[in-house]
Structure 1
Amino acid sequence: MRGHEGADFGPAVIDIADREDERIAAFRDVRERDLTRSGRFIAEGAVVLDQILASRRFRLVALLVLRERLAGLAPRLAALPADTPVYRVERELFDRIAGFPVHRGVMALAEPVEPAAAADLDAALAATVAARGCVVVACGLSNHDNMGATFRNAAAFGAGAVILDRRACDPLYRKAIRVSVGTVFTVPFARWGGAVSIADRLAGLGFECVALSPGAPEPLRALRDRRARALFLGAEGEGLEGDVIARCRPVRIEMASGLDSLNVATSAALVLHHLAWPEQP
């Protein structure tokens, strides 16, 4: 379809003038609602949209776009299926629909493609073992900022996947997606259950399980060789449980005296960088 501003789009562009229009119900008051319970979720911004479009594990259901942002999105939208609705709105109405000022002017409604997600994870784990790479295991991470940053770090340093235990928060929550800059859509992930069983399962696949612990006898720099490793991260404050650490190789990040820990996302970045480019013996 050809938009009113002269740009060519693949899908139909639909003008919305009423906040109560049922076609945009999923976008209303998104700050107060968690759509992930229905299997769908809301993501914000063009950068995050790019990650959805690049993903095999998620598909775009609909877009809500600020009128002046539409022309700039034309190259992305041209590749969308013709039945993907793109709702165009003015600024004042956009903010009233969302329930807060949306500075990026782009909101995407998306959903998972389950068979592709499972296949991608299996392939990613096998490829990571073969490449002697790393995966991340998030145990009890309840802060969405930390969860999003963990995915961003995993993508930045080439981690093959992120595994969540049963207590970890949902990476598809709107804030986690935003902090991850959309990497939750391109880094394979799954929720596997208890942390102890995750360690046993990954060890069985060929990973050396590594746990961060301030009191560990070995410093991070002791990991000098390149091998398949699973980095276990615990929640800030309580950290990893003892029975999980007992199934892992515990290491510590050396730092100045007076402080024994860092923010979990910062710690993950330091360790993932080291594991990606370890010192040679």
Structure 2
Amino acid sequence: MPDIIRIDDPGDPRLADYRHIRERDLVGREGRFIAEGRVVLNVLLGASRFQAESLLLLENRLDGASDLLERAADRLPVYVASQPVLDAIAGFHVHRGILGIGRRTDEPSLDGFLAELPPRALVLVLVGISNHDNVGAIFRNASAFEADAILLDETSCDPLYRKAIRVSVGGALKVPYWRGGSVDAILASLGDRGFDCLALSPAGATDIAAFQAGERTALLLGSEGTGLPPELLGPLSTIRIAMSKGFDSLNVATAAAIALHRLWAGALVRE
């Protein structure tokens, strides 16, 4: 059973990692991150790549959180506080009333990560996507349409930012991902592992509705506005999403959802 610990002092040093979480993010602090809400914490408690270090609950949520506590590790600290104390700790009104501190385990190298993927795999590659909402939404879409992994280059934001995890509805803790290095290095490693690398662009040569994915497909997505750089598009096969004439702009997360559904549905047809 977890340890239930009452907290009455917002300055309690045991709550240091929860303090003023809106103004600072725990990413980069020894691999720790903030998880918010029942759905996300439920994912965290069942994740293999992450470990829950503690929970912080509003006192009137404790009785209703029995399912979460049943999944919690033995002796996991579960701090319980009143609304004023919880808000003072977090630095804002925490209306969900359920927070947790997670920590990621050791990460493999890129080659080691790719070696763990199945023979038939669909991978997303995010290039320069630094908006937390977009990254979170892409992870949510990837979870919905069973992408096997997401690779993020060094210029994309960390999916364990608090807002990205929240927007992903826990998808950032479910979909395997690897982040770091240049997109050129990522593409080289994917090529070595037999992936067909495609670029999604409004100027793509092939309509995605006519595209047939192979056994191993990696789909590149670029940032809002600038998209994927021309020097990257040149050597790659390119696909596009057809839309109304005179309008060629979709939010990158929306475009990812459409593309993933098309590739996912195509894979189901072949099974």
CA distance in 2, matches of 1:136, 1:267: 12
User: Residue 267 of structure 1 aligns with which residue?
Assistant: 255
Cα offsets for 1:229-249 (capped at 9, x unmatched): 101000001111122222321
* Residue number among 76, 79, 86 corresponding to 2:78 in the alignment: 86
User: Residue 196 of structure 1 aligns with which residue?
Assistant: 184
Change (3 A) 1:113 1:225: closer
User: Residue 227 of structure 1 aligns with which residue?
Assistant: 215
User: Residue 173 of structure 1 aligns with which residue?
Assistant: 161
Question: Offset at 1:122?
Answer: 3.8
User: Residue 249 of structure 1 aligns with which residue?
Assistant: 237
* Residue number among 14, 19, 25 corresponding to 1:28 in the alignment: 19
Equivalent runs, 1:40-119 vs 2, <5 Å = 40-114=32-106
Answer whether contact 2:4 2:79 (CA < 8 A) is retained: yes
CA distance in 2, matches of 1:168, 1:247: 22
CA distance in 1, matches of 2:84, 2:109: 37
User: Residue 277 of structure 1 aligns with which residue?
Assistant: 265
Q: Counterpart of 1:36 in 2: which secondary structure?
A: coil
TM-score (norm 2): 0.93
Answer whether contact 2:114 2:193 (CA < 8 A) is retained: no
**Residue type at the aligned position of 1:270:** I
Q: Do residues 208 (structure 1) and 200 (structure 2) align?
A: no
Q: How many percent identity over aligned positions?
A: 44
Answer whether contact 2:158 2:179 (CA < 8 A) is retained: no
Q: Do residues 16 (structure 1) and 7 (structure 2) align?
A: yes
Question: Offset at 1:194?
Answer: 1.1
Question: Offset at 1:149?
Answer: 0.4
CA distance in 1, matches of 2:181, 2:109: 17
Question: Offset at 1:37?
Answer: 1.6
**Residue type at the aligned position of 1:169:** C
CA distance in 2, matches of 1:120, 1:151: 21
TM-score (norm 1): 0.90
* Residue number among 142, 163, 184 corresponding to 2:151 in the alignment: 163
Answer whether contact 1:164 1:190 (CA < 8 A) is retained: yes
Return 172-181 or 203-212, whichever deviates more.
203-212
Return 208-217 or 58-67, whichever deviates more.
208-217
**Residue type at the aligned position of 1:107:** L
Q: CA RMSD in A?
A: 2.0
Question: Offset at 1:120?
Answer: 8.7
CA distance in 2, matches of 1:222, 1:195: 27
User: Residue 7 of structure 1 aligns with which residue?
Assistant: none
Answer whether contact 1:62 1:110 (CA < 8 A) is retained: yes
Q: Counterpart of 2:266 in 1: which secondary structure?
A: coil
Count of aligned pairs between the two proteins: 268
* Residue number among 224, 234, 241 corresponding to 1:236 in the alignment: 224
Structure 2: runs of 5 or more not aligned:
none
Question: Offset at 1:219?
Answer: 0.9
Question: Offset at 1:213?
Answer: 1.4
